[in-house]
Amino acid sequence: MASWRIERSDAVRGMASLESGSVDLCYLDPPFGTGRTHAAARGRFADAASEPHAYEAFMRPWIDAIHRVLTPHGIVLLHCDWRHVHRLRLWLEERFGAEGFVNHIVWRYGLGGSSARRFARKHDDILFFAKGSEYFFEPPRVPATSARLRGRMKKATDVLDVPSLNNMAHERCGWPTQKPLQLLDLLVRACCRPGGLVLDPCFGSGTSLIAAVASGRRARGFDVDPAAVAVAEDRLRSLDGEPRLRTRT
C-alpha cells in the first residue's frame, strides 16, 4: 500500500486539516522571496515578494502551522538562502524558543555564476529546529576526505557537500527549483524515525516525499500549484504505482 498522500492546497490551509502533534519531520523549501516568476516544464509559478514585511506576513503563518502539527519532539528543516535566513531564524526562535535551535546547516553545491562585485554565492541554508529536547537524530555518515581517513566514512558536519542537479541529471524532472535526492535522503534519514511521517507543505517537484517513501517513512504534502502536483504525482507513482491524491481547489 502506498505510504504517501499529496493534495493541491495552500500550505496553511492544508496544514489546518492535519491533526495537532501528528508530524515527525517537516521539511520545507518555500519561495525564497526573489520576486521572480519561474518557468517550469508544465507551467509557471511565482515566488513570494522580496520586501521583508511582505515576506514576514507570508511566512509567519506557515511557522505557526508547522509548530502545531509537529509531535512534541518533532523537527522542522527550513530550506532558505541569503535573502531571508537571518529573519527566518529569528521568527523560528520566537515560535520554538531559542533552545529549539539545533543547527544552521550549509548545503554547499558549487555550481552557479560568479561576480566581480562580491564573493560567489555557492550555498543554501537549512535551519534545523526541534520542538522538544528528545528529538530523533541519527548522524548521517559521509565519505571522509582527509588522507588519513581516505576510503572510510565519517559523521557528517553541518556543511553538506552535495552536488546540485545539472541539466543532464537523470533525476531532473523539469522543475526549476528541484533539489537533489541525495540531499533530501540524507536529511530525512537523519531527522525522521523509520515509519515516521514527513510533511512538506510546498513540495514542488516532490523530492522530499520521494526521499521519505523510499527510505521507509510516510509522506504527506501540499502544493498550491497544479503543475507541481502533476510532477510529484508522476514521480511518486513510479515508486509504488498507487497514487493517494485528493485535489483541493
For residue 227, being part of any structural domain is answered with yes
Predicted pLDDT at 111: 74
Q: What's 112's domain CATH number?
A: 3.40.50.150
Return the pLDDT at 245. Answer: 47
Q: Which of 239, 152, 156, 151 is nearest to 190 (CA)?
A: 156
Q: Which of 107, 100, 138, 134 is nearest to 121 (CA)?
A: 107
Question: Over the stretch 163-209, which tens digit does the pLDDT of each residue have?
Answer: 998 888 899 998 889 999 999 999 999 999 999 999 999 999 999 99
- On whether residue 246 sits in a domain, the answer given is no
Q: Is the dihedral of CA 59, 64, 69, 72 positive or negative?
A: positive
Distance from C-alpha of 194 to C-alpha of 197, rounded to nearest angstrom: 9
- Kindly state whether residue 138 falls inside one of the protein's structural domains: yes
Ranges of the chain with pLDDT below 50: 1, 38-44, 243, 245-249
The answer to whether residue 245 is domain-embedded is no
Estimate the share of the chain in helix, then strand, then coil, as percent rounded to the nearest 5.
Answer: 30, 25, 45
Residue 116 lies in a domain: yes
H or E element at residue 228: helix 226-240
The contacts of residue 83 (CB under 8 Å, 6+ apart) are: 32, 33, 34, 50
What domain count does the chain have?
1
Q: Is residue 248 part of a domain?
A: no
The answer to the question of residue 244 being in a domain is no
Range of the domain at 191: 4-237
Domain membership of residue 243 (yes or no) is: no
